[in-house]
A and B are shown apart, each in its own frame.
Chain A
Amino acid sequence: MPGLWLQLGGSLVAILMLAGLAALLGLGRTPPIASEAFARAEAEGMLSGFEAVAAVVAADGRSALVHGRDGSVAVLKRHGAHLAARRVNADAVRETPEGWHVETGEALFGAILVQR
């Protein structure tokens, strides 16, 4: 049993060391969403059946709204070194002076602000 605790403790130390090293090496830092065309292509690539017609990329490049041919909307957000996407109804998007607030309905995905 003591050996098991030693093994688990050692594993935890190794985990923290490796994750820390990844951060120290600057891994996972990626440029902002490059363009509306890129946002459209990503939305179509991540959401089966979604046909993009227009996109708005946030001013900080960390999110985007992509309008679909069927009236639905894809919201993209930076998720580490990649993007994550959700498809929502148009009424989940609320336009404000700051930008577009999107309620995904998922607490852990979060609500997204696509900044002007």
Chain B
Amino acid sequence: MALPNPTDLAVPGFVALVLIEMVAVKLTHPERYEPRDTLTSLSLGLGNVVSGVIFGGLLGAFALWVWSYRLFDIGWQWYWFVIAFVADDFFYYLVHRAGHRIRWLWASHVIHHSSQHYNLSTALRQTWTGPISLGILIKIPLFLIGFHPAMLAFVGGLNLIYQFWIHTETIDRMPRWFEAVMNTPSHHRVHHATNPRYLDKNYAGVFIVWDKWLGTFEPERADDPPRYGIVKNLGSFNLLWAAFHEWIGIARDVWAAPTLKAKLGYMVMPPGWSHDGSRDTSEIIKARWLQRQQQERQLGSDAWKKPISSSSAGDPAGARSPAA
């Protein structure tokens, strides 16, 4: 069955909405866009399209080969599209979570997070190296169940279109019932934030329920406004550096690693892992932050225990005379 590519059809809409958002923030929040960041983000998006053209055939062939070993014959009725959409969204969660927890996959995904801005152009800031990351391997069960790769590509495209509009600060909260089930701008702001509380949270594509079910949900808090980007921000708008910096980091670390185990670790352990403990993973950052929170709370509670007048001080009986 020949299906259109939804994201191709959506591009004019993407352009229009970016334009509208720029005009909307001009008066109230001009810092939400930066021309060079926008240029880098959109150029990365274009490169992603080119990468798809180059490698799409190979990935499609692999998917079809796996699908040929399918367990069930799934038809093309509309309800199979609905089921495929939900199933694909769950596997999107799994791939996305792996993309944050396995450095090899992170090296491809980090591009999307590397902007310190959070606007609709950030939604289009996409990887050039998705095929190298091999995230498609996590989706093998879907092909083996019997979902045709073309059907999954189609619903996957719809999934990406949904995620476009949630990359904005111009929408605060959706209605509670919506926030309870769907991924929203608020939920996704948390995902893009480097605040310790928000690290490695809210991996959802369309349905936030996967995060709530699997313990990776964190609500956005007004007293902890998101700080966007990556733990070690690029500090550069260089397009090639944005696209490849983490791959270069892996190469350097693997080259310098003292043992085979360390070399493997630098490829598959979580981002920030090091063989000598010299760097920070998100767990370390969170633990350090929690400890500091506890210390500050303790200081705050101790302040209430300090005497505020001599009448609340201890009995001076037995104390040495000041004249002594």
How many chain B residues sit at the interface, stated as a range, is 35 or more
Any chain B CB within 8 A of the CB of A90?
no
Chain B 31-46 against A: per-residue CB contact (8 Å), 1 yes, 0 no? 1111111110011011
How many chain A residues sit at the interface, stated as a range, is 35 or more
The answer to whether A84 touches B37 (Cβ under 8 A) is no
Across the two chains, which residue of chain B brings its CB closest to A48? Answer: B285
**A residues less than 8 Å from B19 (CB atoms):** 18, 21
The answer to whether A7 touches B8 (Cβ under 8 A) is yes
The answer to whether A8 touches B43 (Cβ under 8 A) is no
Stretch at the interface among B153-161, B226-234, B256-264, B308-316: B226-234
Across the two chains, which residue of chain B brings its CB closest to A79? Answer: B235
Chain B 283-313 against A: per-residue CB contact (8 Å), 1 yes, 0 no? 0110011000000000000000000000000
Any chain B CB within 8 A of the CB of A106?
yes
Other-chain residue from B32, B43, B280 in contact with A15 (beta carbon distance below 8 A): B43
The answer to whether A28 touches B35 (Cβ under 8 A) is yes
Any chain A CB within 8 A of the CB of B324?
no
Any chain B CB within 8 A of the CB of A71?
no
Any chain B CB within 8 A of the CB of A23?
yes
Q: With both chains docked as a complex, state the minimum distance between the C-beta of A84 and any C-beta of chain B, in angstroms.
A: 4
Across the two chains, which residue of chain A brings its CB closest to B120? Answer: A18
Q: A27-B35, A81-B32, A82-B31 are in contact. List 5 more A-B contacts (CB 8 A).
A: A14-B15, A15-B46, A28-B34, A48-B231, A108-B235
- Chain B residues within 8 Å of A, Cβ to Cβ: 8, 11, 15, 18-19, 22-23, 25-26, 30-39, 42-43, 45-46, 49-50, 53, 116-117, 121, 196, 227, 229, 231, 233-238, 241, 280, 284-285, 288-289
